[in-house]
Amino acid sequence: MKIKNNLILAMDIMELQKAEKVCETIGNQIDTIKIGYPLTLAEGIKTIKIFKENYNYQIICDYKVADIPATNSKIAEQTFKNGADGIITHGFVGEDSVKACQDKADEYNKDLFLLTEMSHPGAKRFLQKDADEIAKMGVEMGIKNYVAPATRINRLKEIREIVGKDSFIISPGVGKQGGEAKKTLEYANAIIVGRSIYESENPKKATEDIIKSTK
Under the binding rule (CB under 6 A), the answer on residue 203 touching ligand NUP is no
CA atoms within 13 A on the CB side of 66: 9
DSSP category for residue 131: H
Which residue, among 35, 29, 33, has the nearest Cα to 4 in the 3D structure?
Answer: 29
The answer to whether the beta carbons of residues 83 and 59 sit under 8 Å apart is: yes
Which residues does the annotation mark as catalytic?
64
Under the binding rule (CB under 6 A), the answer on residue 192 touching ligand NUP is yes
Q: Report the residue from 6, 40, 97, 119 that binds ligand NUP according to the rule CB under 6 A.
A: 119
Number of residues that bind ligand NUP (CB under 6 A): 19
Under the binding rule (CB under 6 A), the answer on residue 62 touching ligand NUP is yes
Q: Helix crossing, 203-213 with 16-26: angle to 10°?
A: 50
Dist CA 62 CA 137 (whole Å): 20
Under the binding rule (CB under 6 A), the answer on residue 111 touching ligand NUP is no
Tell me the three state secondary structure of residue 67. Answer: coil
Which residues in the 161-190 window bind ligand NUP by CB under 6 A? 172-173, 175-177
Nearer to ligand NUP, 70 or 163 (CB): 163
Which stretches of the chain bind ligand NUP, using CB under 6 A?
10, 12, 36, 62, 88, 118-119, 147, 149, 172-173, 175-177, 192-196
